């Protein structure tokens, strides 16, 4: 084989290896960024709403409060549906792309599946025992799952901010688990974590994905 023909092949191999290490980006990461950003903002606002109720700043009737909470969940479902439809229309397959990017997406997908099981477990336990504090352990487990997923992301991409997010989720999980009987402090911790560990990383992922696509 001539030197001229081997040079492009070597450059292609190096580019492929670089993509595996860096994990790629672009459109494949847009859905994740959107969901983290929207979820963090929506549920962060809901926590602020409940803090306002506790402080006496929000005095809504029960039906209005229930409507607001349902609307938050409904908006999140709309965001999820939009992401799924947009992802399919874009023709981006989860099984394609750089290895690290696929592994990171898989880690967060697995985390979501685990969260579904936890909802059933703690929801049933809370209803059975008639103890709302049991349900409050659910968000703590969510943050623990997120800590694992973000640790995987940091291991694959070695971005410092991902390591900080993983540590933040782990710390939040422990704090919430210890504060289930302290509702005000619990809500403040959850509010800060939703904005800083969900919305902010989502904005970063979305920004980087849009830049990579451009």
Nearest Cα neighbor of 148 from 102, 192, 182, 114 is 114
| 10 vs 121, residue with greater confidence | 121
% residues pLDDT > 90 (the chain): 36
Helix orientation angle between 30-55 and 200-213, rounded to the nearest 10 degrees: 160
Establish if 173 belongs to a structural domain. Answer: yes
Establish if 85 belongs to a structural domain. Answer: yes
DSSP 180: T
Establish if 12 belongs to a structural domain. Answer: no
Are the C-beta atoms of residues 30 and 208 closer than 8 Å to each other?
no
Establish if 110 belongs to a structural domain. Answer: yes
Q: What is the SS3 assignment for 136?
A: coil
Establish if 15 belongs to a structural domain. Answer: no
| pLDDT at residue 157 in the model | 82
pLDDT tens, position by position, 10-44: 554 444 444 444 444 556 678 888 889 999 999 99
Alpha-carbon distances, residue 132 vs 40, 137, 151, 183 (angstroms): 22, 9, 30, 11
pLDDT tens, position by position, 66-93: 999 899 988 988 887 887 777 666 554 4
pTM of the entire predicted model: 0.75
Establish if 126 belongs to a structural domain. Answer: yes
Structure tokens at 30: 């847009």
| pLDDT at residue 73 in the model | 85
Domain containing 54 equals 24-213
Alpha carbon distance 98, 102 (integer Å): 6
Establish if 8 belongs to a structural domain. Answer: no
Concatenated DSSP letters of 72-124: HHHHHHHHHHHHHHHHHHHT--TTSS-HHHHHHHHHHHHHHHHHHHHHHHHHH
For the chain, what is the domain count?
1
Establish if 7 belongs to a structural domain. Answer: no
Structure tokens at 9: 């092949």
pLDDT tens, position by position, 127-172: 676 666 777 888 898 899 889 889 888 888 888 999 999 999 999 9
Structure tokens at 132: 């709302």
């Amino acid at each position: 084989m001539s030197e001229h023909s081997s040079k492009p092949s070597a450059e292609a191999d190096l580019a492929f290896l670089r993509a595996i290490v860096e994990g790629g980006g672009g459109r494949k990461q847009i859905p994740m960024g959107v969901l983290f950003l929207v979820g963090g903002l929506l549920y962060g606002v809901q926590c602020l709403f409940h803090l306002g109720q506790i402080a006496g700043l929000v005095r809504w009737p029960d039906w209005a409060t229930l409507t607001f909470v349902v609307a938050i969940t409904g908006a999140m479902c709309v965001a999820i549906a939009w992401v799924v439809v947009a992802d399919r229309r874009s023709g981006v397959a989860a099984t394609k792309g750089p290895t690290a990017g696929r592994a990171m997406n898989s880690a967060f997908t697995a985390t979501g599946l685990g969260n579904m099981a936890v909802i059933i477990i703690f929801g049933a336990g809370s209803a059975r025992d008639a103890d709302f504090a049991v349900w409050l352990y659910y968000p703590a487990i969510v943050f623990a799952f997120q800590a694992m997923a973000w640790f995987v992301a940091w291991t694959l991409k070695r971005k410092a901010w991902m390591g900080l997010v993983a540590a933040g989720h782990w710390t939040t999980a422990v704090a919430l688990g210890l504060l289930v009987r302290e509702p005000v402090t619990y809500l403040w911790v959850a509010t800060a974590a939703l904005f800083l560990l969900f919305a902010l990383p989502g904005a970063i992922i979305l920004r980087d994905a849009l830049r990579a696509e451009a």
